[in-house]
């Protein structure tokens, strides 16, 4: 026993000597070892708890007591770090509450939008109207590259055949007035003659207001717009056109001679009936006629690389049950729903809502363009505009989405 005390005293003396010389390890190392021991003990206790055992109350109290005594224990380190972060943002708790309330509001709003859309999609004829409009967008996407390429070739061919067409506008002020174009310079006048020569109905209404004559020499799409319906004045390319514009281009421009223009006219007629529907609903019988017109058109343009895929997408869209996309129910109103391509079309309510918004936006643009023009505005345009405004106002989600357009409709109605 005396030998043990003697050795212990000797060790303490050696340590004191080393500390005085500055060569001993700092207390931090001892503290680090204690922290490691604490971690090992905690892991051991957690493993015991994971096996179904309860932490002994005495051991737990001892752990808490030791953590209080050790100012640098892992638990207290974490507490200090959290305290510093909280001090950086004194309004942290309030800010977190605000963010949470925003999320709740957004979820509530999404639920409201979904419910109103579901109500509309409970109407089979409204679903028909929506699917038919979506088919027009699919068809347009398939025609973009083809029509742009064809008009570039047409424009190049015209320039190669006439030196006068290669001459710039002499005044840079040749502008149409409504649907009339007169008092133009010699090069622009020649362009006007050439455009009429390649028009299938040159004696009909030509929407010269779509065009900027000084640009005919350099921009192939300015020439293309002469064969389109009104409202193309601000359009700068095929990618900004709707299906009606591209279909009318194919129908009226003789450069598109490889295909039967009758197929384009049939789709145009269906499109006008769809977009001018005051009730935004079409019957199953009309959908069968529309489907036949689309199939005939796709067959006529089967030489276009993308048209085969467009035909399949159109068939899928006409067969899909949009209510299933929203409800997720097992019921179906089409036997084709078992097809793999149909399953790929099942989508969220948000996507269906985007399709709906795109179709309504196209109608609004057409109506609002026609309304200010006293010559173009007729009884049908006015009636459609009022019906469209009433439909948007009766659906809260749509009235909020199209609030700007509704304000314009209200102003137009007030002028009458």
pTM: 0.67
Among the listed residues 203, 286, 208, 274, the one whose alpha carbon sits nearest the alpha carbon of residue 244: 274
Q: Where are the domains of the chain?
A: 125-346, 348-416
What is the number of H-type helices and E-type strands within the chain? 18, 0
Dist CA 199 CA 209 (whole Å): 16
- C-alpha torsion angle, residues 206, 129, 367, 249 (rounded to 10): -20
Dist CA 404 CA 389 (whole Å): 11
Distance, CA of 314 to chain centre: 20
What phi, psi does 180 have (nearest 5°)?
Answer: -115, 145
On whether the CB atoms of residues 135 and 318 are closer than 8 A, the answer is: yes
pLDDT values of the chain reduced to their tens digit, one per residue, 416 residues: 556 556 656 655 655 555 455 444 444 445 555 666 666 667 666 665 554 444 455 555 555 555 455 545 554 555 555 555 555 544 444 444 333 332 323 344 445 556 788 889 889 999 999 999 999 999 999 999 999 999 999 999 999 999 999 999 998 789 998 788 888 899 999 999 999 999 999 998 899 999 999 999 999 999 999 999 988 999 999 999 999 999 999 999 999 987 789 999 999 999 999 998 888 999 999 999 999 999 999 999 999 889 999 999 999 999 988 764 544 444 445 444 445 544 444 446 778 888 999 999 988 888 776 644 445 446 667 788 888 999 999 999 999 999 998 988 888 888 76
Is 253 exposed, middle or buried (CB count within 10 Å of its CB: 0-12, 13-18, 19+)? Answer: buried
């Amino acid at each position: 026993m005396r030998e043990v005390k003697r050795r212990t005293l000797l060790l303490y003396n050696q340590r004191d000597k080393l500390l005085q010389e500055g060569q001993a390890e700092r207390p931090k190392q001892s503290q680090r070892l204690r922290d490691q021991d604490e971690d090992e003990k905690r892991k051991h206790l957690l493993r015991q708890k994971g096996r179904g055992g309860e932490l002994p109350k005495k051991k737990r109290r001892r752990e808490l007591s030791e953590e209080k005594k050790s100012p640098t224990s892992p638990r207290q380190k974490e507490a200090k770090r959290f305290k510093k972060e909280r001090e950086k943002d004194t309004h942290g708790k309030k800010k977190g509450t605000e963010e949470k309330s925003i999320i709740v509001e957004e979820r509530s709003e999404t639920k409201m939008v979904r419910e109103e859309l579901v109500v509309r999609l409970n109407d089979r004829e409204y679903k028909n109207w929506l699917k038919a409009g979506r088919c027009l967008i699919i068809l347009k996407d398939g025609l973009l590259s083809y029509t742009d390429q064809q008009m570039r070739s047409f424009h190049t061919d015209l320039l190669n055949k006439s030196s006068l067409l290669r001459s710039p506008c002499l005044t840079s002020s040749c502008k149409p007035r409504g649907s009339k174009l007169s008092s133009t310079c010699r090069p622009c006048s020649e362009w006007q003659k050439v455009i009429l020569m390649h028009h299938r109905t040159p004696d009909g209404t030509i929407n010269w207001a779509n065009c900027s004559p000084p640009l005919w020499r350099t921009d192939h799409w300015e020439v293309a717009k002469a064969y389109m319906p009104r409202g193309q004045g601000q359009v700068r390319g095929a990618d900004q056109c709707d299906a009606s514009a591209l279909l009318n281009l194919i129908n009226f421009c003789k450069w598109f001679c490889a295909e039967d223009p009758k197929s384009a006219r049939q789709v145009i007629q269906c499109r006008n009936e769809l977009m001018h529907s005051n009730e935004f609903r079409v019957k199953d019988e009309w959908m069968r006629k529309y489907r036949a017109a689309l199939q005939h058109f796709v067959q006529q343009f089967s030489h276009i690389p993308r048209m085969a895929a467009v035909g399949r997408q159109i068939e899928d869209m006409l067969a899909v049950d949009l209510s299933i996309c929203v409800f997720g129910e097992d019921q179906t109103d089409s036997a084709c729903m078992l097809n793999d391509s149909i399953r790929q079309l099942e989508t969220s309510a948000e996507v269906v809502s985007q399709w709906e918004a795109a179709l309504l936006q196209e109608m609004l643009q057409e109506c609002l363009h026609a309304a200010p023009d006293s010559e173009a505005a007729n009884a049908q345009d006015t009636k459609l505009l009022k019906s469209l405004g009433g439909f948007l106002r009766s659906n809260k989600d749509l009235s909020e989405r199209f609030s700007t357009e509704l304000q314009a409709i209200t102003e137009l109605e007030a002028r009458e």
